[in-house]
């Protein structure tokens, strides 16, 4: 960004719905999985760029609880790409001091994958830079259900009374506990929907839809989203 643009307000927490890999491949007459391979490259480059812009938390939607509905060949290809990327991420992002965490239901992944996820988080745990949350097998309804069960258990165990349940209790049961709500949610690929991403947390997030398909998403596209974010008037219900 140029000098003038550096005076812009940079959102604290940005969420990105990385969409459009399949259409990108289709446009080129390639199988869908190639789109995911290129999408993974964008993930790497854009994460680095965003961390340099001063964003403190970046949450990337990589695989939803509904994405298992896809043909097994595609799901397998995505899992293979994840494994490769997790291996790379063990050392990746080190130079940018990026902390990595995974949000979503890990129980659906194999032992080896879970081990890799744990290792990736562990290697990066003392880093001081941007927090990168990778949402894998993540679904917001699933997350809220999990929080509700947690609260019910606490009530059952006599740790808390029903009257004491507040918004704070719900928030602390979410994967994003202790992380401020997203300020800006970007969706690439032109769709205007959240597709089960951060439903509770995005109550007052600004939504930005980019026509660019994820594998083509560049720093300039992110800059455009930031410019638009700066034009928005966030009222949070006030005047």
Q: Which of 11, 15, 20, 215 contacts ligand IPE by CB under 6 A? A: 20
Asked whether the beta carbons of 98 and 132 are under 8 A apart, the reply is yes
Residue 206 binding Mg ion, by CB under 5 A: no
Residue 76 falls in the annotated catalytic set:
no
Task: Select 173 or 189, whichever has its Cβ closest to ligand IPE.
Answer: 189
Task: Select 218 or 234, whichever has its Cβ closest to ligand IPE.
Answer: 218
Hey, which bits of the chain come out as E strands? 13-17, 57-64, 99-103, 131-138, 184-187, 206-209
Rounded-to-integer distance, Cα 51 and Cα 12, Å: 11
Subset of residues 3 to 22 that bind Mg ion, contact rule: CB under 5 A: 19
Q: Work out how close the CB of 90 gets to ligand IPE at its nearest, in angstroms, rounded to a whole number.
A: 22
Cβ neighbors of 67 (< 8 A, separation 6 or more) are: 75, 78
Q: Residue 186 phi/psi, 5° resolution? A: -105, 135
Q: Work out how close the CB of 228 gets to ligand IPE at its nearest, in angstroms, rounded to a whole number.
A: 20
Alpha-carbon Rg for the chain, nearest whole angstrom, is 18
Per-residue x/- marks for ligand IPE, 181-200, CB under 6 A?
A: --------x-x-x-x-----
CB count within 10 Å of CB 67 equals 18
The catalytic position among 2, 21, 45, 67 is 67
Q: Which of 38, 61, 109, 229 contacts ligand IPE by CB under 6 A? A: 61
Instruction: Report helix angle 72-89 to 111-124, nearest 10.
Output: 30
Among Mg ion, ligand IPE, none, residue 21 binds (CB under 5-8 Å by kind): ligand IPE
Half-sphere exposure of 202 (CA within 13 A, CB side): 19
Give the residue numbers annotated as catalytic, written as ranges. Answer: 19, 67
Q: Which parts of this chain interact with Mg ion (CB under 5 A)?
A: 19
Q: Which parts of this chain interact with ligand IPE (CB under 6 A)?
A: 17-23, 61-64, 67, 78, 189, 191, 193, 195
């Amino acid at each position: 960004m140029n000098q003038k643009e550096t005076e812009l307000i940079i959102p604290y927490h940005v969420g990105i719905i990385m969409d459009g890999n399949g259409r990108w491949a289709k446009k080129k007459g390639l199988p869908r999985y190639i789109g995911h391979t290129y999408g993974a490259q964008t993930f790497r480059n854009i994460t680095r760029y965003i961390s340099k812009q001063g964003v403190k938390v970046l949450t990337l939607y990589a695989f939803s609880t509904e994405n298992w509905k896809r043909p097994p060949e595609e799901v397998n290809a995505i899992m293979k790409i994840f494994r490769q990327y997790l291996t790379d991420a063990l050392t990746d992002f080190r130079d940018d001091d990026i902390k990595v965490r995974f949000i979503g239901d890990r129980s659906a992944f194999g032992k080896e994958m879970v081990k890799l996820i744990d290792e990736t988080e562990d290697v990066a745990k003392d880093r001081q830079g941007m927090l990168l949350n990778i949402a894998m097998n993540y679904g917001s309804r699933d997350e809220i259900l999990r929080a509700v069960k947690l609260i019910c258990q606490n009530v059952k165990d006599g740790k808390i009374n029903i009257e004491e349940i507040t918004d704070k209790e719900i928030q602390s049961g979410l994967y994003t506990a202790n992380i401020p709500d997203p300020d800006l949610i970007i969706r690439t690929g032109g769709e205007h929907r959240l597709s089960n991403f951060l439903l509770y947390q995005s109550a007052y997030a600004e939504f930005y839809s980019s026509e660019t398909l994820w594998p083509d998403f560049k720093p300039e596209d992110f800059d455009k989203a930031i410019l638009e974010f700066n034009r928005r008037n966030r009222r949070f219900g006030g005047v």
